[in-house]
Chain A
Amino acid sequence: AQSVTQLDSQVPVFEEAPVELRCNYSSSVSVYLFWYVQYPNQGLQLLLKYLSGSTLVKGINGFEAEFNKSQTSFHLRKPSVHISDTAEYFCAVSGSARQLTFGSGTQLTVLP
Chain B
Amino acid sequence: DTAVSQTPKYLVTQMGNDKSIKCEQNLGHDTMYWYKQDSKKFLKIMFSYNNKELIINETVPNRFSPKSPDKAHLNLHINSLELGDSAVYFCASSQGWTGGDEQYFGPGTRLTVT
Contact = CB atoms under 8 A, between A and B. Distances in A.
Interface of A: 32, 34, 36, 38, 41-46, 49, 51, 88, 90, 94-102, 104-105
Given A32-B100, A45-B105, A94-B99, A99 B41 contact: no
B56 interface: yes
A27 B36 CA distance: 23
Nearest to B48: A99
B107 A42 contact: yes
Nearest to B43: A102
Interface residues of B, number: 21
Interface in B15-73: 40-45, 48, 56
A36 B102 CA distance: 10
A90 B41 CA distance: 10
Given A102-B43, A105-B42, A46 B48 contact: no
B103 A104 contact: no
Contact of B99 (A36, A42, A98): A98
Contact of B106 (A38, A43, A96): A43
A105 B42 CA distance: 7
A43 B105 contact: yes
Contacts of B43: 44, 90, 102, 105
Contact of B100 (A43, A49, A105): A49
Given A90-B43, A102-B43, A104-B41, A44 B105 contact: yes
Given A99-B48, A102-B42, A104-B40, A44 B90 contact: yes
Nearest to A32: B100
Given A51-B100, A94-B100, A99 B105 contact: no
